[in-house]
Amino acid sequence: MTTTRRDLLTSALTAAGAAVTPRLADAEPEHQAVPSDPALRTRALESVLVARGLVDRAALDALIDAYEHQIGPRNGARVVARAWVDAGYKRRLLSNATAAIAELGIGGEEGEQMVVVENTPRVHNLIVCTLCSCYPWPVLGLPPIWYKSSAYRARSVIDPRGLLKELGLELAPEVDVRVWDSTAEVRYLVLPERPAGTAKMSEAELAALVTRDAMVGIAHVTLSPSAGARA
Ligand code: FE
């Protein structure tokens, strides 16, 4: 992983943000023109800590990357893969997600009350927090910057199908799109569809295919998960 967090601060607002920003620009340009106050304050604080030699920028980037891309989403991928191979587990997961996720030893802060929603050929689920950035940390780690952007939060409700298309996921007209608004109380996770051609794969091999984006609902799971991965 060569992308740094500084790249993310600039490119995430151009990548995911930019994809969704133009059409929002007319509605609320002031929210997208500059990074938010907390982002600026974080940068300022980081600059001072680095200048005084109290933190190492590369170590900080490595830490953030680990939680954002590796540790968290790998937990969610284990849950998804188990549900794909074990019908009983899938039933428990869809009826009481918090308990079923805990069966795999996963749980904790920001994931105390989980709900898992299942994608099917006729239903596609999308997760957002319209109010701020509520996100299921135990199964997905830290929320990516685009998830917290006002563009994503607004467009996912106003025009989810259009938003998904801009993010590279074009859904057939007959697919029903359902948007789930995470809160401080309830956090959602998408159970993506198992891709075709995976019948002989082991649970671990299946887990390796499952991406964070698919579990948020902005992508499908494919046989080449690195293609189209979003920072
Ligand atoms: Fe929130």
Structure tokens at 212: 């964070």
Cα distance between residue 36 and residue 101, in whole Å: 34
Q: Is residue 183 part of a domain?
A: yes
Active site residue 202: no
Q: Is residue 231 part of a domain?
A: no
Task: For residue 163, report the distance from its CA to the centre of ligand 1, in Å.
Answer: 19
- Cβ 220 vs Cβ 169: under 8 Å: yes
3 has a pLDDT exceeding 70:
no
19 has a pLDDT exceeding 50:
no
Residue 53: left if φ>0, alpha if ψ -120 to 50, beta else—which one?
Answer: left
Active site residue 133: yes
Structure tokens at 162: 């259009």
Supply the pTM of this predicted model.
0.76
pLDDT-derived band at 131, boundaries 50, 70, 90 = very high
DSSP string, 182-212: --SS-EEEEEPPPPTT-TT--HHHHHHH--H
Q: Spot the catalytic one: 129, 149, 150, 156.
A: 129
16 has a pLDDT exceeding 90:
no
Q: Cβ atoms within 10 A of the Cβ of 222, count?
A: 16
Q: Is residue 224 part of a domain?
A: no
Give the pLDDT confidence of 73-91 residue by residue, as tens digits: 999 999 999 999 999 999 9
Cα distance between residue 109 and residue 127, in whole Å: 18
Q: Is residue 47 part of a domain?
A: yes
pLDDT-derived band at 199, boundaries 50, 70, 90 = very high
Mean pLDDT of all residues in 104-118? 93
pLDDT-derived band at 71, boundaries 50, 70, 90 = confident
2 has a pLDDT exceeding 50:
no
By residue range, what is the domain housing residue 71?
A: 5-216
The total number of structural domains in the chain stands at 1
Q: Who has greater pLDDT, 3 or 195?
A: 195
Cα distance between residue 51 and residue 180, in whole Å: 42
Q: Is residue 141 part of a domain?
A: yes
Task: For residue 206, report the distance from its CA to the centre of ligand 1, in Å.
Answer: 30
Q: Is residue 223 part of a domain?
A: no
Amino acid identity of residue 31, one-letter, is H
Q: Is residue 133 part of a domain?
A: yes
Give, as one character, the DSSP assignment of residue 28.
Answer: -
Mean pLDDT of all residues in 196-207? 97
Among residues 222, 208, 119, the alpha carbon closest in space to that of 168 is found at 222
Cα distance between residue 39 and residue 61, in whole Å: 15
Q: Is residue 144 part of a domain?
A: yes
Q: Spot the catalytic one: 36, 133, 150, 224.
A: 133
Domain of residue 46, CATH code: 3.90.330.10
Cα distance between residue 17 and residue 148, in whole Å: 10
